[in-house]
Structure 1
Amino acid sequence: MASFFRVISTSYLHLASQNSDSTRKIELGPGDVLLLRLDLNQGGLVYHNHPNANRDTVIQHLKASISSTLDYFPQLAGRLTVIEHDDDGTSSVFIHCNNSGALFIHAIAEGLTISDILRPDYLPPIVRSFYPLTDAKNYECTYKPLLAVQVTELIDGMFIGVTINHALGDGKSAMHFLTCWSEIARGVGLLSKPPTLERWFPGCTERPLRIRFPKDNEKEKERLKSPLPPPERVFHFSKEKIAELKAKANATLSSNNKISSMQALMAHIWRAIVRNQGIDPKEEVNFKLVVDIRPRLNPPLPPHYFGNALDDGTVMMTAGELLHQEGFGKAALEMNKVVASFTEETIMSHLKSWLEDRRLLTIREMYGNAVEISGSPTFNVYGVDLGWGKPVAVRSGPANKSNGTITLFAGPEKGDAYAEVNLPYEIMEALGRDSEFMDAVMPTLGFFIVKKMTSVRSSL
């Protein structure tokens, strides 16, 4: 697989409407400023070529549809603004909807096919160049774009990498933007689910929220520099295999179907990782998961709230407990308990605790030595049809990844799930030889990778 990557053009996209309010500012809430030191949020969609349109037509269609979508998401065309408070040396951060523009990059990976990306066990290093703003931190978007889209041509398709400032929204918000973009790209007149842009500020939070804004200098950038992610491998779990794991977990516990499919899958992956790390049975191992708090507040946040509305919890066990015969069911049950613990009271307690020191996360502090999971197989990623059919595969970028990170997303067949796993090479190879783990894993190359999608639209 020989390939040469080059950028063809770079441009900035602005709101399609001429009536935008360039003075509008949106405050960042507690869940937003917490992430300012982290990398941006990245996702990738792989498509076959449009059968009835040339390259220039497709590129212009994508640009025009993004500009029209920005009319509903004006903050994505803006920049962060920092207001300093002289009385105590703190700062407040806003999104200035000034229509400075979203970045659009058109590139080409000559000699590379879709199969070259999806067939190998490990992610080819060249794919990391398919995501824009990979080295940026969220706080740097006072002068860098808050949204960047890169379209990389392949021989038989294209890879669309989307990067959104993580201080603007979580994974669910990013998915909402993609859904709205796909509706507009297909010619929908009005969005079915327009976003709610105003930020959530609970009663215990003063406004504007004051924090210690990161210093934009080389020393700070070096301190916050993300480690190069370890090798990444994608594992495919079919609906049937996931159902078997769920049934096994519930049978172990006699829990009347208390364990969900995803809790069973997460427990299965966690046990396999620890089993192949050679950890002392008495050593404590941690598994971190994130919970969407939108429906858990009183009153609940709007389902299409565009912002960060996540909280995280940790399951703690010894390696011996986890790898015990009954450890699978116990791990899944502990995950179930952690998710159930996120009540209004718990969420507000976590918020009040954070307000006492207002510490901004770094990648090293976020992960520590835990296995952490993000993403969700409930996101309708295969519904992002931009006018010529559904994507044939979905990936996430290298941002915010470290040793032990797992990203879950749906498969093209309803009920399937994929797990992107980042681990050292020797651990990853051991996983591939682990018969208990691999028994639930589908072959690397599914039919959907090599079979061209038959559902094609001709709206370009």
Structure 2
Amino acid sequence: MSNPHIVRHISECFVKPEHALEESKRPFYLTPWDLQLLSSHYIQKGLLFNKPPAAYDQEGFIDTLLDRLKCSLSRALVHFYPLSGRLVTQTNENPPSCLIYVDCDNSPGAKFIHAALDTTISEILSPIDVPLVVQSFFDHDRALNYDGHTMSLLSIQITELKDGIFVGCAMNHSIADGTSYWHFFNSWSEIFQAEGNDVSLARPPIHKRWFPDGCGPIINLPFTHQDEIISRFEPPALRERVFHLSSESIAKLKAKANAEYKTNKISSFQSLSALLWRCITRARRLPLDQITSCKLATNSRSRMDPQLSQDYFGNSILAVAGVATAGELLEQSLGWAAWQLHQAVVNHTDKAIHGWLDAWQQSPIIYQLARFVDEYSIMMGSSPRFNMYGNEFGMGKAVALRSGSANKFDGSVTSFPGCEGGGSIDLQVCLLPDFMSALESDEEFMDATTLPPSVAVVCR
């Protein structure tokens, strides 16, 4: 008898682009932004949908849905062909080095999985903590981007619940950042909704690789063995919760931060990040002289001169940070903390970006999660600006967003738009159990949050 609490894989296959573009037959070279992420995890995000009435009324609903998803995915991969490839390493003897790129021509394609779990939407969304089984809604659990040599760069898992469908997507982070991830998801949804008709994408991806002057397209890394490039990271046992902030609550935070610092330049997200930074620091009870930071994953496209298009497919992110001692962070106001983050973002200029790129070329560094994480800081990832709830696959609007185990550690915070829209935000927060309990007792934080919309009234 099968265990009702374990996701069962029913079938899997590989999906290739409907047809091959000439450009897809050439190597897809990786930039410094891409290469630095070889030792981090895949991006894992997904959407939870109510089963529509047709799922109960029509025989073969799930088979028809799966066929339509595969067909539209095959068409989407024509436009996003790097996702159907595999990583290839070419070693050089003199000097000892390696070249890592994507071969889009000799590959079985993207992976597609049909799975099932005997549970309900309510059993996924109602618990205070995110159930561990949600991690099983995604393929490539704990895989590193480097594993894209043997694993698919894109894997779609469709998990059927008793009353819902979860569409989970795992994408190699050395191929795409959050901007490109949701660009693909939005385009796949656009093609699905066209119902087999020819569609010209509203925003076709730009695959022309961007390299700083004097760099690329071939970048030989000064490494000869994978142990020099990758290291596995296994976080300790964490609690993971989703906190909801209404648009009214976020507006109050922004107004408070700007009033306290006597400015009007602090953004909503900077105010929200400052709140998390202060409250998690307080929950950790750090020594007052301990240096702490709030890191923000920042899109560099619009900060370059000339600007890089938002449709550029690949990575264009760097982390910026506000830094302070625990003492000054807690003694100063929310506005003061938010201003530190504002300044970090403002200082992320074309000059700063090229400074990082120049330094990387002189001494290439592969981001190691175990070394990047520290017990005194927090990391704000993803963005509530991404169009997540605009993705529909014949089942109406999604009722919730969830992410997998990838890139989770003590102090990681993933931000999503709230289901009801209007500027509301959901925060998926990961902390050690004692710290999460302290955060749940923090008046400043809990006063700003509300419970996420209940299953009974979530967006339909």
TM-score, normalising length: structure 2: 0.93
Indicate if the aligned counterparts of 2:419 and 2:458 stay in contact, CA closer than 8 A: no
Q: Helix, strand or coil for the counterpart of 1:276? A: helix
Q: Structure 1 residues 348, 121: closer, same or farther in 2, change over 3 A? A: same
Aligned to 2:187: 180
Q: Deviations over 1:336-374 (max 9, x none)?
A: 000000111111111111222101011122222321111
Distance 2:297 2:158 in 1: 30
Aligned to 1:342: 348
Following superposition, the deviation at residue 396 of structure 1 comes to: 1.6
Distance 2:191 2:49 in 1: 18
Distance 1:159 1:302 in 2: 31
Distance 2:213 2:166 in 1: 43
Indicate if the aligned counterparts of 2:98 and 2:224 stay in contact, CA closer than 8 A: no
Counterpart of 2:290 (choices 276, 283, 290) is 283
Indicate if the aligned counterparts of 1:253 and 1:329 stay in contact, CA closer than 8 A: yes
Does residue 1:329 correspond to 2:329, yes or no?
Answer: no
Counterpart of 1:46 (choices 22, 45, 48) is 48
Distance 2:437 2:179 in 1: 32
Q: Helix, strand or coil for the counterpart of 2:284? A: coil
Distance 1:452 1:438 in 2: 21
Distance 1:38 1:389 in 2: 33
AA partner of residue 208 (structure 2):
E
Aligned to 1:192: 202
Q: Helix, strand or coil for the counterpart of 2:117? A: strand
Query: Which 5+ residue runs of structure 2 have no aligned equivalent?
Result: 56-60
Following superposition, the deviation at residue 77 of structure 1 comes to: 0.7
Aligned to 1:36: 38
Does residue 1:208 correspond to 2:218, yes or no?
Answer: yes
Aligned to 1:355: 361
Aligned to 1:250: 258
Q: Structure 1 residues 437, 452: closer, same or farther in 2, change over 3 A? A: closer
Q: Structure 1 residues 55, 309: closer, same or farther in 2, change over 3 A? A: same
Aligned to 1:457: none
Q: Structure 1 residues 225, 134: closer, same or farther in 2, change over 3 A? A: same
Aligned to 2:58: none
Following superposition, the deviation at residue 51 of structure 1 comes to: 2.3
AA partner of residue 404 (structure 2):
G
Q: Helix, strand or coil for the counterpart of 2:380? A: strand
Indicate if the aligned counterparts of 1:226 and 1:363 stay in contact, CA closer than 8 A: no
Aligned to 1:239: 247
Does residue 1:420 correspond to 2:420, yes or no?
Answer: no
Distance 2:353 2:386 in 1: 23
Q: Helix, strand or coil for the counterpart of 1:381? A: coil
Aligned to 2:116: 108
RMSD: 1.9
Q: Structure 1 residues 213, 181: closer, same or farther in 2, change over 3 A? A: farther
Q: Structure 1 residues 20, 390: closer, same or farther in 2, change over 3 A? A: farther
AA partner of residue 112 (structure 2):
F
Distance 1:19 1:74 in 2: 8
Q: Structure 1 residues 315, 113: closer, same or farther in 2, change over 3 A? A: same
Following superposition, the deviation at residue 452 of structure 1 comes to: 6.9
Indicate if the aligned counterparts of 1:229 and 1:422 stay in contact, CA closer than 8 A: no
Q: Deviations over 1:123-148 (max 9, x none)?
A: 11111111100131111211210000
Q: Structure 1 residues 24, 392: closer, same or farther in 2, change over 3 A? A: same
AA partner of residue 456 (structure 2):
V
Does residue 1:400 correspond to 2:399, yes or no?
Answer: no
AA partner of residue 88 (structure 1):
P
Alignment of 1:14-413 (within 5 A): 14-17=16-19, 23-53=25-55, 54-98=61-105, 99-110=107-118, 112-187=119-194, 189-212=199-222, 215-216=225-226, 223-228=231-236, 230-255=238-263, 257-324=264-331, 326-369=332-375, 370-413=377-420
Indicate if the aligned counterparts of 2:247 and 2:424 stay in contact, CA closer than 8 A: yes
Distance 1:416 1:393 in 2: 13
Q: Helix, strand or coil for the counterpart of 1:80? A: strand
Distance 2:130 2:392 in 1: 24
Following superposition, the deviation at residue 241 of structure 1 comes to: 0.3
Q: Helix, strand or coil for the counterpart of 2:140? A: coil
Q: Helix, strand or coil for the counterpart of 1:383? A: coil
Q: Structure 1 residues 245, 21: closer, same or farther in 2, change over 3 A? A: closer
AA partner of residue 13 (structure 1):
V
Q: Deviations over 1:356-414 (max 9, x none)?
A: 21010111222223211110010010001122211111112111111111111111122
AA partner of residue 149 (structure 2):
T
Following superposition, the deviation at residue 212 of structure 1 comes to: 4.0
Q: Deviations over 1:195-217 (max 9, x none)?
A: 00122101042441111457457
Distance 1:127 1:295 in 2: 34
Distance 2:292 2:302 in 1: 30
Following superposition, the deviation at residue 322 of structure 1 comes to: 1.0
